[in-house]
Amino acid sequence: MVKKRGYHHGNLRQALVDAALDLIEAKGPTGFTLSEAAKTAGVTPAAVYRHFEGREDLIAEIAQQGYAVFGDLLDYAYSTGQPSALASFEAVGRAYLAFARKYPGHYVAMFESSISIQRTPELYQVATRANGVLERAAEELSKHIPAENRPPPQMFAAHIWAMSHGVVELFARNSPGTKSPFPPEDLLETGIGIYLRGLGLLEKDG
């Protein structure tokens, strides 16, 4: 989790974000009010409106901060997986699972709050940067295939994103009734391998 900081003059905005993160984890993105966020942060409700017009603005700020961290984690995973394109691709998938576990409040704000990434230019920029890491990894993985036979990297990057999200939702967040005898990381890695081989994206020695 992001380390919580107590409120003092100058960081009220972040204090409200931290308070809302606790509420999102406990009640979901629509289960609390701005007044509750203010109370949790130890400030008056009126103070909230100096920084956020409504609850969705507050959640959008959380999503923006989450995507910034998310993009950094994916980029680091991609870089440390080199020089193998497959290793980098799989590392990005594992980073997705790690982020969901370590930053559950941000994850919910990003993917389960109905907040559009186009809500603000800043949110759109950090969200597309994170997606761009996966697309870059996908493009690198398919470079050995002739261009005319190469599937669009945006397509299979989106498929892997969806697969990662599914594994998180079903098996990595302690969802009731969805236990698996296999670790989420193993489920995702084998799923990625099967999918990529089906597309012909893995070289014979990959």
Q: Is 72 found in the same domain as 114?
A: yes
65 and 35 together in one domain: no
Q: Does residue 205 belong to any structural domain of this protein?
A: no
Structural domains in the chain (count)? 2
Could you tell me if 12 and 79 lie in one domain?
Answer: no
21-67, pLDDT tens digit by residue? 999 998 888 888 888 998 988 888 888 888 888 889 999 999 999 99
Residue 3's pLDDT is what? 43
The whole domain housing 8 covers: 1-52
Q: Say if residue 122 is in the same domain as residue 80.
A: yes
State the pLDDT at residue 105.
Answer: 93
* CATH number of the domain that residue 15 is part of: 1.10.10
Mean pLDDT of 100-117: 91
Q: What is the pTM of this model?
A: 0.83
Q: Verify that 7 and 43 share a domain, yes or no.
A: yes
152 and 69 belong to one structural domain: yes
> Which residues lie below 8 Å from residue 159, measured CB to CB, with a gap of 6+?
195
Residues 104, 13 share a domain: no
Q: In this structure, what CATH number is given to the domain that contains residue 117? A: 1.10.357.10
Alpha helices, DSSP H, located in 8-112:
12-27, 34-41, 45-48, 55-80, 85-102, 104-111
Q: What is the pLDDT of residue 5?
A: 43
Q: Are 164 and 93 within 8 A, CB to CB?
A: yes
Let me know whether 80 and 126 are in one domain: yes
35 with 61, same domain: the answer is: no
